[in-house]
Structure 1
Amino acid sequence: MNSSPAGILAGLMVSDAPRPEFADALAPFAPLIGSWDLDVKYYDDSGEVIRETKGEWHFGYALDGRAVADIWITPSRTQRALDGDGEWGLTVRLHDPDLGAFRSTWLGPKHGVVMTFIGHPGANSITLEAREPKSAKTRWIFTDISETGFHWRNEDEDEAGKITVRQRFFASRPQL
């Protein structure tokens, strides 16, 4: 065991598997466990792509197998020399049995952003809806989830119901 503060924290944070009593509740996120390469697109208000880069996303069981955590990085660590500094985001998701849904909190330290979501699995999808909308309702949606890939999008819906896509991630397993 690594006795450095970082090693101790990492060892306490991650888990090899969900606890048996949490396995069914965390099952919607099970196909996402592991590492992913990302093709990332950012969009302006009119839907035009304004930036493209590579990213990475790492999912794992956490907190003694009672939660799922992930870290996404964009641009990816290898792409930063070309695209500059970006964001490292941390999300922790846990199932709330009383709510019958996931509680999810995302931390974006570069800009000091904290967002909380309520998430529901669907048919081959997971939708997370922000709890504190500012001027728009924000949704983060995983679709087309498989063992080899998935799609993710960040969208806002204004009061009139107009949806604006802000980001799309196209994920695939890294080639070893």
Structure 2
Amino acid sequence: MQDFLKKLTSECKNIELPEEFNYFGELVGSWKIDYIDNSTSHSIKGEWHFSWVLEGMAIQDIIILPDYERGTTLRVYNPGTQAWDIAYCFTGKIIRLEAKKENGIIVLTDIENKRRKWVFAKIEENNFHWQDVTVKEDGEWHINFDLYAERI
């Protein structure tokens, strides 16, 4: 198993990944998270871990929300589109997304449902804010879930 982990993970970003598209590099590491369902104000404490993988051209994570959901995301930079191709996998489901910066924030748009978005609204050295959004008919964003993270 250790051999697999050594071959999968990378110490840093690949130099072929342009710095202006290094959207997720600041996330590498471990985070404690507070996942809030805005419809009920219910909060779930969990953890989220990010690592460079595939020779530094991708970032993979694992999110753990006890008794709710465990999943993994693979984010791979696509030089052809200058965007990130993303697959989020959890029990029984895979969601495909594409990430681009819009107005200074990182927006991940669901490939099958353009009205569904995941947004990294703010990423700082020791904290970040993530949102699950549905775009209404009038274009207004409805925030379904907020996630606040602090670096461990």
TM over 0.5: yes
1:80-111 residue CA offsets vs partner (Å, 9 max, x unmatched): xxxxx2211111111111112111110012xx
User: How many aligned residue pairs are there?
Assistant: 152
Q: Is the 8 A contact 1:124 1:145 kept in 2?
A: no
Residue 10 of structure 1 corresponds to 5
2:93 matches 1:113: yes
**Is there any run of 5+ residues in structure 1 with no aligned partner, and where?**
1-5, 76-84
| Higher helix proportion (structure 1 or 2) | 1
Q: Deviations over 1:105-141 (max 9, x none)?
A: 10012xx1111111013465311000011xx711000
State the structure with more CA Rg.
1
Change (3 A) 1:25 1:35: same
When you count strand as a share of all residues, which structure comes out higher? 2
TM-score scaled by structure 2? 0.89
Query: Which residue in 1 is equivalent to 2:53?
Result: 62
Distance 1:60 1:108, change over 3 A: same
**Equivalent position of 2:84 in the other structure:** 102
Fraction of identical pairs, as percent: 28
CA distance in 1, matches of 2:73, 2:52: 12
Q: What is the TM-score with the length of structure 1 in the denominator?
A: 0.78
Q: Which residue of 2 aligns with 1:52?
A: 43
**Aligned position for 2:62:** 71
Instruction: Specify the code of the residue in structure 2 equivalent to 1:103.
Output: D
1:18 and 1:163 map into 2 onto residues whose CA distance is 32
Alignment of 1:167 onto 2:149: no
Contact 1:124-1:144 at 8 Å conserved across structures = no
1:147 aligns to 2:125 (yes or no): yes
Structure 2, gaps ≥5 residues long: none
